[in-house]
Amino acid sequence: MNNDISRTSLFVKKIILLGVFLFIVFLHLYYLTPGVDAGIHMYGSFLITKGFLPYKYLWNNKPPLIYVIGALGFLLKSNPFLGVRIIELAIFSCNLLLVRKIVRAVNLREPFLYLLTFSAIYLVSWEQGFLTETFAIPLTLAALYLLIKKIKHYELICAFLLTLSFLLKQNAVAVIAGIMLVDIFSNYRQNNKAKKIIRYSISFLFFSLVLYLLLSRLGIWGDFIDQVFIYNIKYEDRPSFGALIIGHIRRNSFLSVKGISAVLFFNICMLLTLWKYGKMKRKGYVFELRDWLLINSIIIYIASYYFVYMSGKSYPHYFMLLIVPATFIMGHYAAVTKVGKIALGILLTVGFASNISAIPQYKKIYENRKTVVHFLKNNTPANEFIHLAGFGNQYIYVMADRLSHTKFILPLFENNGYTTRYKSILVNDFKSHPPSFIILNKNNYKQLDPNNFYTEIVMKTLQQYQLVYENELYIVYRRN
């Protein structure tokens, strides 16, 4: 009797997980027009397929690996974003496999709940995908799994994973760096802190040298440093620590009601869990590997939290950088408490509802982009330049198979980021080789700062253009 119940329960769990997996597959194959960041990434990949390099021909303050990944999608020439989606789904499947392997290696209770937790967090934070955060996940999971398995030459491998995560996004290194620190200051793998520090340092310096030689050989090292480091350090606006805390509590955009995010309650639960483990330690409780995984996941999560949200923004996809420790923390709560199971059910419901409710808006964007692309293709030769003003348009370049006339395909957020050199480049691009068409997004261009240098140039240039096409979302101007 009990065996029959157990088999039925296992079957139901598999059906639930399969249903969630198929829903995620459906979303990837249905949403075949990217969002704002993904559109920029696709344009960078598009440049590579044309023989041009990002940083020289695209200004963006993100590292370059996402463009290389995107370029693989162009192997499917008829629909490169579908190619990217296939890569994303392969990565997602790999993530689930790694979570399952970690759960088994640590002998965690209710493995099904950890896989479901990962999928639920993914659903609420993926934001239509092809984001740098998406591809950092398997690197973080691999770093954790290989540590648990005590693999040989771990320092070399982990330093390589750290380098790859940095090449996706600067603060994507936070969780892997935390895993490295756990390895250094614990005796789990070996009891020799100095040797581990030296090996990590030499490995990281080696991969840094390889990166320097490669980008120097390509002629983009200076531009890479200027855009990815100097701009972010010198010009990007960051709130003070106090303002960051207040803003994050009162004006959070992720899983929030009136600015108060459910994530904040999740964070409080973690502090209570650490307090509970502190009491257990004082009473002489001997921790098992599963306890250490939970404790270190909480510590790494809390330590990484600031680096993920230090910009003051709280976009849902930022949480993807914390999804690995969050999975093992929330999965634990779901496995041992009814409240945790209810919270997981609510999270999964929100994930389904929010993605389904976005479908009508997606269809509207997709159809309007298609008609704009049809107009541009019919009215420009293949070598003509166009310019998409503002945000959220950039995949139109790829769909229309047309290049931007300037590397600044979207405005810099910080006005003081327009150095004298940048101003000169932008002015020259609009004067010396102006685009045949300028396309405005009705929903976004009005939100641009009118005092922004980029916006001023675009609006001034538009005086020499006339409106020739319009649909529900876009306005197209042709040069007189």
Q: Indicate whether 301 and 262 sit together in one domain.
A: yes
150 & 123 share domain: yes
Is-contact 95 118, C-beta < 8 A? yes
444 close to 388: Cβ distance less than 8 angstroms: no
Is the same domain home to 347 and 367? no
Domain boundary among 357, 373, 391: 357
pLDDT value, residue 139: 97
In the predicted model, is pLDDT for residue 83 greater than 80?
Answer: yes
233-270 CB burial, b ≥16 within 10 A, e <16: eebeeeeeeeebeebbeeebebbbeeeebbbeebeebb
User: Pick from 335, 357, 379: which residue ends a domain?
Assistant: 357
Q: Token match 């020799």: residue?
A: 192
Task: Give tens-digit pLDDT for 375-407.
Answer: 999 998 888 899 998 777 889 999 999 999 999
pLDDT score at 447: 67
CA distance 300 to 464: 55
Whether residue 257 is predicted with pLDDT greater than 60 in this model: the reply is yes
Task: Looking at 107-224, list the stretches that DSSP marks H as alpha helix, in order from N- to C-terminal side.
Answer: 111-125, 132-148, 154-166, 173-185, 193-218, 221-224
Task: Please tell me which residue, 253 or 328, carries the higher pLDDT value.
Answer: 328
Task: Name the residue range of residue 422's domain.
Answer: 360-479
* 177 token code pair: 């760096």
Interval 418-446 mean pLDDT: 88
Residue 418: phi and psi, rounded to 5, are: -80, 85
Average confidence (pLDDT) over 332-345: 92
Number of domains comprising the chain: 2
At 107, give phi and psi (nearest 5°). 60, 50
What are the backbone dihedrals phi and psi of residue 228, each rounded to the nearest 5 degrees, phi first? Answer: -85, -35
Which band of pLDDT confidence, cut at 50, 70 and 90, is reported for residue 5? low
If asked whether residues 338 and 407 sit together in one domain, one would say no
How are beta strands 385-389 and 403-404 bridged, if at all? Answer: parallel
Residue 429 contacts residue 405 (beta carbons within 8 Å): yes
Contacts of 390 (CB under 8 A, 6+ apart): 410, 411, 440, 441, 444, 445, 447, 448
Summarize pLDDT for 457-475 with one digit per residue, the tens: 998 999 999 999 999 899 9
The reply to whether 310 and 226 lie within a common domain is: yes
Q: Do the beta carbons of residue 74 and residue 41 sit within 8 Å?
A: no
The model's confidence at residue 441, banded by pLDDT at 50, 70 and 90, is confident
Regarding whether 380 and 347 lie in a shared domain, the answer is no
- Strand, helix or coil at 439? strand
**pLDDT, tens digit (0-9, with 9 covering 90-100), for 122-175:** 999 999 889 999 999 999 999 999 999 999 999 999 999 999 999 999 999 999
For residues 269-281, give the mean pLDDT.
90
Has residue 249 got a pLDDT over 90? no
Distance in angstroms (rounded) separating the CA atoms of residues 440 and 391: 9
| Encoded tokens for 184 | 């250094």
Of the pLDDT bands very low, low, confident and very high (cuts 50, 70, 90), residue 287 is: confident
Is residue 11 located within the same domain as residue 127? yes
Q: What is the 3-state secondary structure (H, E, C) of 79-120?
A: CHHHHHHHHHHHHHHHHHHHHHHHHHHHCCCCHHHHHHHHHH
**Mean of pLDDT values over 208-228:** 94
Start-to-end CA distance of the chain, whole Å, equals 81
* pLDDT for the residue 254: 84
Give per-residue pLDDT as tens, 58-73.
999 899 999 999 999 9
**Same domain (yes/no): 332, 471:** no
User: What is the Cα–Cα distance from 21 to 312, expressed in whole angstroms?
Assistant: 32
Dist. CA 252–CA 241, nearest whole Å: 15
CA–CA separation, 248 and 254 (whole Å): 10
Residues 281 and 399 in one domain: no
**Tell me, what's the pLDDT at 443?**
78
Do residues 319 and 371 both lie within one domain? no
Residue linked to tokens 């990002």: 54
Q: Which two tokens stand for residue 197?
A: 């520090």
Q: What is the pLDDT of residue 109?
A: 84
Same domain, 341 and 462: no
Taking alpha carbons only, the member of 37, 150, 22 closest to residue 92 is: 22
Among 318, 337, 357, give the residue marking a domain's end.
Answer: 357
> Hunting for tokens 């994973």 — which residue is that?
161
User: 283: pLDDT confidence band, cut at 50, 70 and 90?
Assistant: confident
Structure-token match 């120097």, residue found: 216
Mean of the per-residue pLDDT values of the chain: 90
Band (6; pLDDT cuts 50, 70, 90):
low
Statement to judge: residues 147 and 74 lie in one domain: yes
CB 318 within 8 A of CB 255: no
Q: What angle do CA 373, 376, 380 make, to 5 degrees?
A: 145
